[in-house]
Amino acid sequence: MDGMIKVSDNFDEGARLFDRIARKAGNTVGLMKAIAGIMHHEVEENFANEGRPNKWKPLAQSTIRARRKKGNWPGKILQVRGRLATSFQTDYDNNKAVCGTNVIYAAIQHFGGTTKHAARMRILHFGDTHAARMGKDRYGPGRATRSFAKPGKATFGMKVPGHAYSATIPARPILYISQGGLQKMLDAGKAWLRSA
């Protein structure tokens, strides 16, 4: 019997443990649900902190002016009405954990890029005709002029051709998982294995 190793320990307990793990591995939905929830929380933290670990690039001054004009500034980056931030959903099953959105502009906000806009007709709105006042108008005193007006207060509109333009959007990673988030996923996996 030289060279033979004889094991006399009882392996029943180990066999039972491996059997429990194998049975548990057939149903990982609980673990995938926890991981999907962690990913969703990470996305919410990215929006709350406006980027992690590095802050997102600030908005362009033209964007800030446009948002201020509409009453949406001061505010948070990528959150005018909250549509993008609230659109993220989770999905999970026995084989996967997912966090994502179906909002079409989410990808360009995440990765950055350039959007191209074709030329289009625009409508300029004008108000009533009035007599120009002396020294206040380049047309001179008594000359009839028209002023721009808001669409609801305009007396008529005129179609004019616009110009094609492009806009560059910097990358603002939304689906970033922090080191803390990765650790939470690992801890969830370990807890799941310990409960076998």
Confidence band, pLDDT 50/70/90 cuts, at residue 130: low
- For residue 51, give the nearest of 81, 88, 69, 76 by alpha carbon: 76
Alpha helices in 79-178 (DSSP H): 83-86, 106-111
Q: Indicate whether 60 pLDDT > 50.
A: yes
Q: Indicate whether 7 pLDDT > 50.
A: no
Query: CA dist 110 to 61, 90, 114, 123, 171, Å?
Result: 20, 18, 12, 33, 5
Predicted pLDDT at 46? 95
Q: Indicate whether 148 pLDDT > 70.
A: yes
- Number of neighbours of residue 133 by Cβ within 10 angstroms: 11
CB 35 within 8 A of CB 91: no
Q: Answer positive or negative: Cα dihedral of 16, 21, 24, 25.
A: negative
Q: Indicate whether 139 pLDDT > 90.
A: no
What type of residue sits at position 183? Q
What is the arithmetic mean of pLDDT over 26-35?
88
Query: CA dist 111 to 46, 91, 165, Å?
Result: 14, 22, 20
- Spell out the domain ranges in the chain: 12-113+172-194, 119-163
Tokens of 22: 């194998």
- pLDDT tens digits, one per residue of 106-128: 999 999 999 998 998 888 888 76
